[in-house]
Structure 1
Amino acid sequence: MPWHVYLSGEIHSDWRLRIANAILDEDLDVELSAPVTNHANSDGGGVAILGEQPSDYWRDHVGAGLNAIRTRTLIEQSDVVVVRFGDEYKQWNAAFDAGYAAALGKPLITLHPEQHDHALKEVDRAALAVAREPEQIVDVLRYVLNGKLPKRR
């Protein structure tokens, strides 16, 4: 039975693709899911489906509601949640996802550069592992699924 891994967080780099490709290369029994990663669709989905809103606040509000249906459902169905915090933007939604996963008792792995350690200390404390590179996520998954350690890099 495959493990379901939800990949939350920043959408401006190739980290998800790197994980997906390595999982395929390793032939790990893992299925990945993620939020809507097309930024325009994520921001504009509420208006596109539910109609124009009277202000930017309400535009964001209806979009966030639609995105939350997907996010909450996929986090609840996941076996492991990975949350990526990137360099360029403040990912408040990623922090929320991490807290939601932790509240549900989901195993949580954070992925971020060392310079974010202080800002993310509470989130990292809830995580069972803190990774610096996407490949380490695959190393963790290989280990927890098969008990195999990575080859030395």
Structure 2
Amino acid sequence: MDLTVYLAGQIHDDWRETVKTKAREKNLALTIVGPQTNHERSDNVGEDIIGKQPASVHKDDAASSINNFRTQVLLQKSDIVIALFGEKYKQWNTAMDASTAITMNKPTIIIRPESLVHPLKELSNKADVTVETVDQALEVLQYIYE
């Protein structure tokens, strides 16, 4: 059984590659999808598709509508959503994707460090599973295959 897993979270480091590598090591049949991780492409996609915008606010709006469209399609096609909250970057997109997934009734795993227990308590309460590490999230997925 192959599961499609949407990895929601910041795009500024290689945590998704870590998930992919560890999933392969565990022989988990996963197809990994997620947001556009090329930051420049994500920021410029609106102008790349619909043309130059008159101001940065319009550029951001055009890009966000296309990025949101992409995210919606991939979330809908996903079997599971893993949302990683880290301490280094602001996590607005992660929170939006996790809450969208929960609203869509997608099985959702939240990864968050102990330091974010309080600020994420409501979201964690709505998720199916909350863990502190990528390894723990993968163990939850591995349990599906037992």
- TM-score with structure 2 setting the length: 0.94
1:102 aligns with 2:107: no
Q: Distance in 2 between matches of 1:16 and 1:140?
A: 17
Gaps of 5+ in 1: 147-153
1:136 CA displacement:
1.4
Q: What amino acid is aligned across from residue 133 of structure 2 in structure 1?
A: E
User: What are the Cα deviations for residues 63-96 of structure 1, in whole angstroms up to 9, with x where unaligned?
Assistant: 0111112100111111110111122222212111
> d(CA) in 2 for partners of 1:109 and 1:69?
22
- 1:18·1:135 contact (CA, 8 Å) conserved in 2? no
Please say if residues 23 and 138 of structure 2, whose CA atoms lie closer than 8 Å, have aligned partners that are also in contact.
yes
Flag as ranges the 4+ runs of structure 1 deviating above 4 A.
none
2:30 partner letter: V
TM-score, structure 1 as length reference:
0.90
Q: Deviations over 1:5-26 (max 9, x none)?
A: 1001111222211110011111
Provide the residue aligned with 2:72 in structure 1.
72
Structure-2 separation of matches of 1:140 and 1:4: 15
Matches within 5 A, 1:1-153: 1-146=1-146
Aligned residue for 1:8, secondary structure, equals strand
> In structure 2, what is the Cα distance between the partners aligned to 1:88 and 1:51?
33
Query: What amino acid sits opposite 1:36 in the alignment?
Result: Q
Structure 2 unmatched runs, 5+: none
Q: Percent identity?
A: 38
State whether residues 10 and 93 of structure 2, in contact with CA within 8 Å, keep that contact through their aligned partners in structure 1: no
What root-mean-square deviation, in Å, do the aligned CA atoms of Structure 1 and Structure 2 show? 1.2
